[in-house]
Amino acid sequence: MTRVLPVTSKKDLDRFVDFPHDLYKGDPNYVPEIFIGQRDLLSPGKHPFYEHSKIQLFLAFDGDKITGRIAAINNRNHNQFVGAKDGFFGFFDCIDDQETADLLFQSATDWLKQEGLNKLVGPANPSTNDVCGLLVEGYDMPPVAMMPYNASYYLRLIENIGLKKKTDLLAYKVMHATVNDKSIKMLDILQKRLLERNGIVIRKVNLKDFKNEVVKIREIYNIAWAENLGFVPATEAEFEYLAKDLKMILNPDYCLLAEKDDKIVGFVLAIPDINQILIKIKKGRLLPTGIFKLLFQKKKIDMLRILTLGVIDGYRKMGIEACLYGGIIKNSKGTNIKGGECSWMLEENHMMNRALDQMNGELYKRYRLFEKEI
């Protein structure tokens, strides 16, 4: 008989983090998350998310065997920002069994109701500033860095619970071999025009002044994405936490800023697809040998993930977006990089999706956010 219990101990937390490794054993496209990173993300006091919000984790058992997991999330920052009472679910993994899924979601829903929330939204791990969405198209290859992966039957389990589509998040593949390189050919002309007409300079991030750069980038991030569906501003502590992690793999060639009078008005960030290495690290353990794989195989990575690109209102449609995309493509040519994934894009973001189509980007994966009144 299946039972669902809240996670209350360090041992339970470790089992919560490790469950997907057993569930996806033998799946060639599954990439384990780094264990210490996931454990800290799910530990109050370790991650700045808990300075404003709450998470309750649940595990499903059949006898002594774990058969599923889920997180119920009260993201107070989100609800304050949008004026809602949304409850989120995340970190959902489950065997192909509807009863187990039903019980997991019921436990999460009951907890969210106790928190005074009236809608279920997700998946978010734990917010839209982190890994989010359910893979619904493109199961035939591993995910890139900081993107989710799940079995195809998850869609059926979730829809049977009554969750409906809220929106889709799109992933495009842009390869050097097929990209329309008009933006590269026009790059010098566009950058010169931006400088002469608007006083805007495109430059690389300054790692020697990284702390101040992060402050400026967070400001532009929170402004540029403010109107996007599901967006919630990142706190200073959250943004610094993420920036600290990303700095370890950051290449200034792939983090470009558009600046006017010492004010950043747009930026793009691409990171190497470290999942090409993590897929070989058993259960996400960096010690004792995983850390060496991560360090010594970085040069073999041949894909980027363009993680984020944004320009603040008042500076859009001036050519900044083309310069930022073009700069990433130009800087990666002649290296080991064959191309990259641009993700995720809201399906409602017609301007950016059209731009990727014009670059010969291939829409090859689709992720979904769901919602349901509770």
Residue pointed to by tokens 């049977």: 160
For residue 367, pLDDT over 70 is answered with yes
Q: What is the rounded average pLDDT of the residues 7-17? A: 97
For residue 32, pLDDT over 80 is answered with yes
Tens-digit pLDDT profile for residues 213-264: 999 999 888 888 877 777 888 899 999 999 988 888 899 999 999 999 989 9
* Predicted pLDDT of residue 292: 67
In this prediction, residue 185 has a pLDDT band, given cuts at 50, 70 and 90, of confident
Structure tokens at 178: 């097929």
pTM of the prediction?
0.93
Do residues 329 and 179 touch, judged by C-beta distance below 8 A? yes
Tens-digit pLDDT profile for residues 143-171: 999 999 999 999 999 999 999 999 999 99
Q: How many CA atoms lie within 13 A of 237 on its CB side?
A: 8
For residue 285, pLDDT over 90 is answered with no
Tens-digit pLDDT profile for residues 251-268: 999 999 999 998 999 999
Do residues 319 and 189 touch, judged by C-beta distance below 8 A? no
For residue 75, pLDDT over 90 is answered with yes
Which phi and psi (to 5°) does residue 144 adopt? -85, 175
* Predicted pLDDT of residue 330: 92
Q: 187 exposed, middle or buried (CB, 10 Å; 0-12, 13-18, 19+)? A: buried
* Predicted pLDDT of residue 248: 84
Q: What is the rounded average pLDDT of the residues 174-196? A: 87
Do residues 339 and 132 touch, judged by C-beta distance below 8 A? no
For residue 36, pLDDT over 80 is answered with yes
Which phi and psi (to 5°) does residue 183 adopt? -65, -30
Classify 345 in phi/psi space as left (phi over 0), alpha (psi -120 to 50) or beta. Answer: beta
DSSP assigned state of 33: P
Q: What is the rounded average pLDDT of the residues 167-186? A: 89
Say how far apart CA 128 and CA 369 lie, in whole Å. Answer: 10
* Predicted pLDDT of residue 11: 96
For residue 199, pLDDT over 90 is answered with yes
Do residues 58 and 73 touch, judged by C-beta distance below 8 A? no
Higher pLDDT, 169 or 321: 169
Across the strands, what pairs with 268? 256, 309
* Predicted pLDDT of residue 91: 98
Q: What is the rounded average pLDDT of the residues 329-350? A: 93
For residue 1, pLDDT over 90 is answered with no
In this prediction, residue 298 has a pLDDT band, given cuts at 50, 70 and 90, of confident
* Predicted pLDDT of residue 228: 76
Crossing angle of helices 187-198/320-332, nearest 10°?
Answer: 140
In this prediction, residue 287 has a pLDDT band, given cuts at 50, 70 and 90, of confident
Do residues 104 and 7 touch, judged by C-beta distance below 8 A? no
Domains, the chain, ranges and CATH? 2-27+34-44+52-168 (3.40.630.30), 175-366 (3.40.630.30)
Average confidence score pLDDT of the chain: 93
Helices (H) and strands (E) in the chain, counts: 13, 15
* Predicted pLDDT of residue 227: 74
* Predicted pLDDT of residue 58: 98
* Predicted pLDDT of residue 181: 78
- Beta carbons within 8 Å of 13's beta carbon, 6+ residues apart: 7, 39, 42, 43, 57
* Predicted pLDDT of residue 233: 87
